[in-house]
Amino acid sequence: MAFDVVVIGSANLDLVAQLEHLPKPGQTLLASGYAEHAGGKGLNQAVACARMGAKTAFVGCVGDDDAGRFLRSVLDLEGVDTSLLRSVSEPTGRAFINVDAHGENEIVVILGANSMVGVVDGALDEHLVIPQCKVVLAQLEIPQTTISNAFEQAKKFGATTVLNPAPAATISREIYAVTDIIVPNETETQSLGGVDELRRSGIKTIVVTRGENGAEMITTHGTAVLNEGFAAHLVTPVDTVGAGDAFIGAMCAEIARDVAVSEACKLAVVAGALATTVRGAVPSLPKRAAVLEALNGSK
């Protein structure tokens, strides 16, 4: 079976506390609200792709526990193929998220089962086969050897490989060598040495998301470097959790429709903005009809 997008990544149960302001070191705060949501960058981005109309498959791991069964049911409900979602002995991953009154957040992730994606008995799972698709998307909440293996397979059948380097970490040369598009936010870009350092890695297309300042695409053609900016879609944010995932999911879904990356970014900026108007990661991810309506309304 061929897919538009295959997402290989993390699946977490998000534990979200609403606060007046984010805590300082050593400070204890009382939350004004609390909720539990499906999350993990991989799961979020898979749902984002599916809601944008892409036929999507998810490759990942959850624990054999209630949280894992819940996350699997969320993906199934969204129409994401879960035939390559394994249940393993490690507990399902968790993300502890604090969100302040202005929608800013801080997140602590416990990998749990996500550390076993593409891994069997501590070694690379040589039997993991990435399905035929147009785009393969990954993040850094799973083992890097798994990402490079998935991207190498993707390159063999001509898929576009997209890396969201979150959370920011030292990236192996093997991954850089098989990545077509990298999509960091501003903080991740700085952690990775800046745009010039990313260009030196050999990646031809860099898309930097800049929150309320929109996004920027830097492409390298031989010795020429082209920059294109995408203005933010204006909204009143209540929660920025999931905005980056909405952006990347929308971008990948459009690329799978054979849309140019620059055109895909124009839609993705709107999707990311709309995601900030709803609390929670998965609940905030917009459908394509809503994104198109907002895009057309802003022209």
Report the distance separating Cα 39 and Cα 283, nearest Å: 10
- Kindly state the DSSP code that residue 290 receives in the 8-state scheme: H
Catalytic pick from 81, 121, 245, 258? 245
Burial category of 288 from C-beta neighbours within 10 Å (exposed 0-12, middle 13-18, buried 19 and up): middle
Cβ–Cβ under 8 Å, residues 283 and 238: no
Report how far Cα 298 is from the mean position of its chain's Cα atoms.
25
Q: Is 258 a catalytic residue?
A: no
Any bridge partners for residue 139, and if so which?
A: 164
Q: Is 35 strand, coil or helix?
A: strand
Burial category of 79 from C-beta neighbours within 10 Å (exposed 0-12, middle 13-18, buried 19 and up): exposed
Tokens representing 22 are 């984010």
Q: Active-site residue numbers?
A: 245
